[in-house]
Structure 1
Amino acid sequence: MNTPCTPLKLTDRKRQAIVDAAIAEFRASGFESTSMDKIAATAGVSKRTVYNHFPSKDELFAQILHQLWCSTSALMDAPYLKDVPLRQQLLEMLWKKMGMLQDAYFLDLARVAIAESIHSPERGQEMVTRLSEREEVVTLWLRAAQADGKLRQADPVLASHMLQGQLKTFAFWPQVTLNQPPLDPAAQRQVIETTVDMFLAYYELRP
């Protein structure tokens, strides 16, 4: 589905209501056990309206993946800046990442996508592939910092996973799998700053 990552217009409120209903029903009953009739009832629209927007449940799930993909756009613009301190740049990147991970709608989308990928790996493969492409932005930043002689020459893919994985350990997986509440601002700051400082203590090349 090649829908652009733009906010829905008011005329598309029914479409969004259908998507929101599908998210709620997929979370409650799973993809296979959810009927289009139930989605229509939850959305408060007719079954015909649902099919006018989405010919099948697979199309609905594809839209959920698309919105999950659009939700991760915050990190798309993260160029390496040669004259800006590494710590400042990393903090800015991780604050963007934290904002995404703690967003309630993003978490709902992620719960549905992850649950379905467990039951149907082939259906979840697109999600895994596309989200990995989003995280490549951090890897590219790390490669640029290495080329500038600011970070040690280590595997940038591994370093990227380690850096972002620290945030997910505290601010994503507990919320997705255990329904824990989002971190409060003080906890977010502690996780981000500690993660950056630990990362730089190992990877940064100092004069």
Structure 2
Amino acid sequence: MKLTEIKRKNIIEAAVEEFREQGFLGANIMRIAKRADVSSRTLYKHFENKEALFQEISKIMIERNSAMAPVGYDPDLPLDRQLVTALERYVGVITEPEAIGLNRMVIAELLRDLDRSRAFFAEFATHDYPITNLIAEAMEAGVLRKADSVYAANQLLGLVKTFFFWPEFLLGDNPAADGVMEDCVSMFLSYYKTDV
């Protein structure tokens, strides 16, 4: 990694900590520079202001949540098992400590600023969840009834996040019992699965 890339990474990490501790309004560029061990001039070469830093951090959060490659449908494997496996991998990505920290910091600011929240969710909507492809291909194969695959993926992830993301995000632990993921998938399939 080049020195300039290292400095940029350090600035972003320092900004995440500063925003987490102080909130967006209370965050201070000079403190961020000090935490990152760079001059304010160096910081401004990378980011023109706090807003630019926050936008970069939001972008990183979206990219982390989309880091898992799209999952394809395999007609030789049971669909319920494919969904459970893909969802377990996805939950692993979004509940990593760094991902949880980024989510907490960004969501706290989105709650405060409706315009920023609208812009964030407009950007977020352009990214498909990794299981959307799996659901779309299963619909195409006739295993799931035809519907909007993005809508269907959001329904399934709404169930899954209730048990696996939000407890981690809000409480710092995951009290989900064994079999909960399978139950979420069963509920989803009871609505979408065809008789084929």
Q: Which TM-score applies when normalising by structure 2?
A: 0.84
Match of 2:96 among 87, 90, 103: 103
Moved more, 100-109 or 153-162: 153-162
Following TM superposition, by how much is the alpha carbon of 1:156 offset from its aligned partner in structure 2, in angstroms?
Answer: 3.7
Alignment match, 2:182? 193
Following TM superposition, by how much is the alpha carbon of 1:90 offset from its aligned partner in structure 2, in angstroms?
Answer: 0.8
Paired residues in the alignment total: 195
Q: Please, what is the CA RMSD of the aligned residues?
A: 2.4
Give distance in 1, aligned partners of 2:136 and 2:187.
18
Following TM superposition, by how much is the alpha carbon of 1:86 offset from its aligned partner in structure 2, in angstroms?
Answer: 0.9
Note the residue ranges of structure 1 that are not aligned, 5 or more in a row. Answer: 1-8
Report percent identity of matched pairs: 34
Alignment match, 1:32? 25
Match of 2:71 among 65, 78, 90: 78
Following TM superposition, by how much is the alpha carbon of 1:188 offset from its aligned partner in structure 2, in angstroms?
Answer: 7.6
Is the Cα–Cα contact under 8 Å of residues 152 and 204 in structure 1 kept in the other structure?
yes
Give distance in 1, aligned partners of 2:165 and 2:82.
22
Do the aligned partners of residues 94 and 76 (structure 1) sit closer, same or farther apart at CA in structure 2, a change above 3 Å counting? same
Alignment match, 2:121? 128
Alignment match, 2:160? 167
Give distance in 1, aligned partners of 2:45 and 2:164.
37
Following TM superposition, by how much is the alpha carbon of 1:189 offset from its aligned partner in structure 2, in angstroms?
Answer: 5.6
Do the aligned partners of residues 89 and 74 (structure 1) sit closer, same or farther apart at CA in structure 2, a change above 3 Å counting? farther
Following TM superposition, by how much is the alpha carbon of 1:67 offset from its aligned partner in structure 2, in angstroms?
Answer: 1.1
Confirm whether residue 65 of structure 1 aligns to residue 78 of structure 2. Answer: no
Q: Which TM-score applies when normalising by structure 1?
A: 0.80
